[in-house]
Amino acid sequence: MCIVLSGFGTVFADTMVGEDMESPIHVLIDTDANNELDDQHALAYALLNQADFNVVGVTVNNTLNGGGIEGQYREAERVMRLCDRFEGVPLFRGVESNIADVLPDLKELKHDGYEGVDFIVQSAKEDRAQKLVVVAIGKLTNVALALAKSPEIEKQIRLVWLGSNYPYPGEYNLWSDPESVNYVIDTNVDFEMVTVRYRETTGATAVSVEGSDIVERMSGKGMKVSPIEGRHGGEFTTFGDYSVSLFEHVNLSRRPLFDVVALAIVKTPSWGNYREIVGKRLEDTR
């Protein structure tokens, strides 16, 4: 496999991946929506930019800090309702555990996370002019299991994953299920990694925002919907006000919007810099 790395700073290649994609781009988003506050903004970015993205559906995966698969599902639903897209965009629960736990039961009709995994497979097989872009902004468990269940879909999807600190070790989404990353690497799927690179200026960490700017720019923004209870309580009628609340609960500190970067680069490839490498299996999470 060849893996395409995207980041910021140094230019790695002349050709921008995805530059010929037609709009709207058909995307499926796989998210650990309740982990921090960047997933929520990534979902809203895609759902509210209908001229650029046709979100065919959302699946949720479970990472350590999200309150289980139900917590991840509820937060994704909350954002989708605040964007007035819940009725029109399917949302499915994915895997609670990791790939190693589910692979032995994958032939069972109702294995852990089957709804989300089956939806990825079904969506990949739909007839469309271009490959479905699966934007994974959590661990890769759901996508890896979809490839395991129906290997033929590797030719029908382009996988863009927000994860890894390559060439440095670690990163949260990678740590959450490294075996799923190796499973994907062992396939022939088009695989692009949007690197995180904590404390560096060449990965998604470089895209950050001050809480005070969120208050100034997001308050009251977005379409008005019926009141939705927030993750930390209170009721909200716009995504903009919910965005402010999320930042208020981290004391309005400066925070990276990691996951937004993956979607932004899909929409506008020239915002990223690219390098193609020959895929190798992970060792010691690097």
* 150-192 confidence digits (pLDDT tens): 999 999 999 999 999 988 999 999 999 999 999 999 999 999 9
Residue 14 binned pLDDT confidence (cut-offs 50, 70, 90):
very low
Does residue 215 sit within a domain? no
Judge whether 24 and 51 are in contact, CB under 8 Å. Answer: yes
The CATH code of the domain that includes 116 is 3.90.245.10
- Is the pLDDT at 7 greater than 90? The verdict is no
Residue 238 lies inside a defined structural domain of this protein: no
In a domain, 85, yes or no: yes
Asked if 145 and 184 touch (Cβ cutoff 8 Å), the reply is no
Enumerate residues 6+ apart whose C-beta is below 8 A from 241.
Answer: 218, 219, 220
CB 27 within 8 A of CB 57: no
Residue 282 is which amino acid? L
Task: Tell me how many domains the chain contains.
Answer: 1
Which residue segment(s) compose the domain that 190 sits in?
2-207+257-278
Which among 248, 207, 213, 245 has a CA at the least distance from the CA of 78?
245
Q: Is residue 229 part of a domain?
A: no
- Contact (Cβ atoms closer than 8 angstroms) between residue 281 and residue 219: no
In a domain, 251, yes or no: no
Does any domain span residue 242?
no
The answer to whether position 92 is within a domain reads yes
pLDDT-above-90 percentage for the chain: 83
Residue 283 in domain: no
Query: What's the rounded Cα separation, in Å, for the pair 135 and 108?
Result: 26
